[in-house]
């Protein structure tokens, strides 16, 4: 016994080691769905359950199996209401106190409100309302708490009566919620209608959840012929084989007639020959011995580890489903991002190709632009020369500069227009080159030549007469030819310079197409989906590590 106590102390230390798993997760985790928050809230609540001092024994079963009558037998009096045609509709907790009292717990968000009531009025707060087509639990009542000075309850034990299973979904769910808080479950069966498939499924579910902390009461055994009772119990053991554990029995079955036992107990006569009372007393003694021993601590620990593991298993399955969904979502969003990239790249390529074609069109227009401007300049020069303007040479230079500026502006505008869809800063045509063309083309090639042949402008008329009659030279015509020749040469150089300029622009366009090539973009939805995948991977890993630690601890408890 001392060795068992030492081992239990060691197990309590190991139980404390689970705290690191609770602290490893933020239970106020920023999750998207209320269901996820609820799953983690259950696990958080299970931590409080691990260290709860109160030991809870929960009685459950189908409607009218006799749970309340059985509990009254354990309480030595008819406290819990029991009617032939009405069943329990509210969870009822019975715990120890020096003085008897009854409280009704009502929802009062965010907590609950406790209201003291008289014991004789208990029925109205517990029994189902069967006045309508569907039986209904009393409204606005979370539970009923009864305190009694009973020795069975002195060792921090509480007995819990629950609504019947399987007939009403809401009440069935409420009963399972209570079983999730239990240290020992007692399934009350009716010997007359023993173990339906639904009852077997419920027994298996609770067995798995509480790590085998489940025992069975075959009630109303008095309704079975005495010679058949043994066979009924034997059949129940066969049907329930494998349910339970080494500490509570595998399976542990008590055959009781709760109604007969309660009558015998209330009579005050301890009749040792009353088999129903003796079986009830045996069950009561078994409960006391179990929870007053170190083995009882193991039973408590097993159930609480089982409940915690059950919540983790539920969360693990949910997180795996969500992980698969988010991984699929990531694939869809990644493919959408790639398709979007292809679309943007194709559009960008189309824009670049269009810009190149438009630049080529500008290049092909250079000759035409030059010819138009040269013809215009020559025409203006001829008009100026024939007008006998005394300052015609300087005016001709102004016309030449204007023509060059017009050419420059035309080319730059057409180049900008070709790159309208592209945010590219293009350079200007070489201004110094155009100014040099102006000086060479007019001042040196034309004006100097004229000055050399005809002298100063003050002698212009005489020079023209002398040139034509003495030297045999038509100076005006020769000047015009010189202007045309100079303009041709100048526009040829201008075109070459402009082609170099367009080549520079083309090079800039190549650099732009390389540096501004559309890149794969990650939309916010994809970022969120990837973060969700990471989150669910973490939560799954956390669940698995936690479950592994529980499994190791459970092996030591067993």
Output the CA–CA distances (angstroms, integers) from residue 479 to 137, 383, 388, 450, in the order listed: 120, 12, 12, 7
Tell me the three-class secondary structure of 477-520, residue by residue.
Answer: HHHHHHHHHHHHHHHHHHHHHHHHHHHHHHHHHHHHHHHCCCCC
What is the tens place of the pLDDT at every residue in 244-299? 998 999 999 999 998 888 888 887 665 566 787 888 999 999 999 998 888 888 89
Distinct helix (H) and strand (E) counts, the chain = 17, 9
* Distance, CA of 285 to CA of 290 (rounded, Å): 8
* pLDDT above 90 (res 64): no
What is the tens place of the pLDDT at every residue in 366-382? 888 888 888 888 888 88
| Burial classification of residue 24, based on how many CB atoms lie within 10 Å of its CB (0-12 exposed, 13-18 middle, 19 or more buried) | exposed
Residues 6+ apart with CB under 8 A from 144: 90, 91, 92, 93, 102, 103, 104, 105, 122, 125, 126
Domain ranges in the chain with CATH number 3.40.50.300: 31-292
- Give backbone dihedrals phi and psi of 62, rounded to 5 degrees, phi first: -70, 165
What's 275's DSSP letter? H
Nearest to 87 by CA among 188, 158, 204: 188
Band of pLDDT at residue 204, cut at 50, 70 and 90: very high
**What pLDDT does 515 receive?**
92
Band of pLDDT at residue 117, cut at 50, 70 and 90: confident
The distance from CA 408 to its chain's CA centroid, rounded to whole angstroms, is: 61
* pLDDT above 50 (res 539): yes
**What pLDDT does 489 receive?**
78
| Whole-number percent of the chain with pLDDT over 70 | 82
**What pLDDT does 109 receive?**
66
* Distance, CA of 359 to CA of 351 (rounded, Å): 12
Share in percent of the chain as helix, strand, coil (round to 5): 65, 10, 25
* Distance, CA of 62 to CA of 172 (rounded, Å): 9
| Burial classification of residue 493, based on how many CB atoms lie within 10 Å of its CB (0-12 exposed, 13-18 middle, 19 or more buried) | middle
What is the tens place of the pLDDT at every residue in 304-343? 999 999 999 999 999 999 999 999 999 999 999 999 999 9
- Give backbone dihedrals phi and psi of 307, rounded to 5 degrees, phi first: -65, -45
- Of the listed ranges 424-433, 441-450, 485-494, 511-520, the one predicted with least confidence: 441-450
Interstrand relation of 92-96 and 253-255 (parallel, antiparallel or unpaired) = unpaired
**What is the average per-residue pLDDT within 419-439?**
76
What is the tens place of the pLDDT at every residue in 175-199? 999 999 999 999 999 988 888 898 9
- In the block, tokens 């309850």 appear at 153
| Burial classification of residue 506, based on how many CB atoms lie within 10 Å of its CB (0-12 exposed, 13-18 middle, 19 or more buried) | middle
More confident residue, 418 or 82: 418
* Distance, CA of 381 to CA of 448 (rounded, Å): 16
Output the CA–CA distances (angstroms, integers) from residue 190 to 301, 380, 456, in the order listed: 30, 123, 140
Band of pLDDT at residue 55, cut at 50, 70 and 90: very high
Strand partners, 148: 96
* Distance, CA of 189 to CA of 185 (rounded, Å): 13
Nearest to 253 by CA among 300, 305, 203: 203
Band of pLDDT at residue 136, cut at 50, 70 and 90: low
**What pLDDT does 475 receive?**
65
* pLDDT above 90 (res 459): no
* pLDDT above 60 (res 449): no
The distance from CA 305 to its chain's CA centroid, rounded to whole angstroms, is: 28
User: What are the structure tokens assigned to 217, written together?
Assistant: 């009461």
What's 165's DSSP letter? B
User: What are the structure tokens assigned to 131, written together?
Assistant: 């006045």
* Distance, CA of 417 to CA of 428 (rounded, Å): 14
Contact 491, 370 (CB under 8 A): yes
- Of the listed ranges 139-153, 415-429, 472-486, 511-525, the one predicted with least confidence: 472-486
Output the CA–CA distances (angstroms, integers) from residue 207 to 41, 216, 332, in the order listed: 23, 11, 42
Strand partners, 27: none
Specify the 3-state DSSP secondary structure of 128.
coil
Class of the 31-292 domain? Answer: alpha beta
What's 439's DSSP letter? I
Interstrand relation of 214-219 and 143-148 (parallel, antiparallel or unpaired) = unpaired
* pLDDT above 80 (res 222): yes
Specify the 3-state DSSP secondary structure of 192.
coil
As a whole number, the mean pLDDT across the chain is 82
Nearest to 421 by CA among 365, 361, 359: 359
* Distance, CA of 480 to CA of 386 (rounded, Å): 9
Interstrand relation of 214-219 and 184-190 (parallel, antiparallel or unpaired) = parallel
Nearest to 556 by CA among 310, 211, 287, 214: 211
Contact 145, 93 (CB under 8 A): yes
């Amino acid at each position: 016994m001392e060795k068992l106590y030492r081992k239990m102390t060691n197990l309590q230390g190991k139980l404390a080691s689970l705290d690191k798993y609770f602290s490893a997760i933020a239970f106020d985790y920023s999750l998207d769905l209320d269901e996820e928050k609820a799953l983690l809230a259950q696990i958080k609540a299970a931590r409080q359950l691990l260290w709860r001092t109160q030991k809870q024994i929960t009685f459950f079963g189908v409607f009218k199996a006799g749970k309340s009558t059985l509990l009254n037998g354990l309480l030595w009096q008819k406290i819990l209401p029991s009617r032939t045609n009405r069943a329990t509709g509210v969870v009822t907790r019975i715990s120890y106190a020096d003085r008897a009292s009854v409280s009704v717990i009502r929802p009062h968000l965010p907590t609950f409100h406790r209201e003291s009531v008289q014991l004789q009025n208990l029925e109205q707060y517990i029994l189902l309302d069967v006045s309508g087509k569907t039986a209904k639990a009393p409204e606005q009542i979370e539970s009923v708490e009864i305190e009694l000075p009973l020795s069975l309850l002195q060792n921090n034990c509480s007995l819990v009566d629950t609504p019947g299973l399987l007939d009403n979904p809401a009440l069935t769910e409420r009963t399972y919620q209570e079983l999730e808080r239990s240290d020992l479950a007692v399934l009350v069966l009716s010997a007359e209608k023993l173990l339906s498939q639904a009852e077997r499924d419920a027994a298996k579910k609770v067995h798995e959840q509480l790590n085998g902390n489940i025992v069975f009461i075959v009630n109303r055994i008095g309704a079975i012929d005495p010679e058949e009772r043994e066979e009924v119990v034997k059949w129940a053991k066969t049907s329930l084989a494998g349910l339970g554990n080494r500490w509570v029995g595998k399976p542990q079955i008590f055959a009781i007639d709760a109604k007969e036992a309660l009558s015998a107990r209330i009579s005050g006569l301890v009749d040792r020959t009353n088999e129903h009372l003796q079986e009830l007393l045996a069950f009561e003694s078994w409960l006391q011995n179990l929870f007053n021993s170190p083995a009882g601590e193991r039973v408590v620990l097993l159930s609480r580890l089982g409940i915690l593991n059950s919540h983790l298993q539920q969360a693990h399955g949910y997180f795996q489903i969500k992980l698969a969904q988010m991984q699929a979502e990531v694939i869809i969003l990644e493919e959408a991002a790639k398709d979007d990239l292809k679309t943007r790249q194709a559009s960008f390529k189309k824009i670049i190709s269009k810009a190149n074609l438009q630049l080529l069109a500008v290049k092909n227009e250079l000759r035409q632009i030059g010819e138009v401007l040269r013809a215009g300049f020559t025409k203006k020069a001829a008009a100026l020369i024939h007008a006998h303007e005394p300052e015609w040479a300087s005016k001709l230079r102004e016309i030449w500069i204007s023509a060059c500026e017009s050419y420059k502006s035309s080319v730059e505008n057409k180049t900008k227009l070709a790159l309208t869809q592209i945010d590219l800063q293009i350079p200007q045509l070489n201004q110094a080159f155009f100014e040099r063309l102006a000086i060479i083309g007019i001042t040196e090639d034309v004006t100097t030549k004229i000055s050399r042949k005809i002298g100063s402008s003050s002698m212009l008329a005489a020079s023209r007469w002398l040139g034509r009659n003495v030297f045999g030279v038509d100076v005006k015509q020769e000047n015009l030819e010189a202007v045309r020749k100079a303009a041709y040469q100048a526009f040829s150089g201008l075109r070459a310079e402009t082609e170099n300029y367009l080549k520079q622009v083309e090079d800039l366009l190549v650099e732009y197409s390389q540096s501004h090539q559309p890149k794969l973009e990650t939309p916010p939805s994809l970022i969120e989906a990837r973060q969700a995948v990471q989150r669910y991977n973490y939560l799954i890993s956390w669940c698995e590590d936690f479950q592994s630690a529980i499994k190791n601890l459970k092996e030591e408890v067993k």
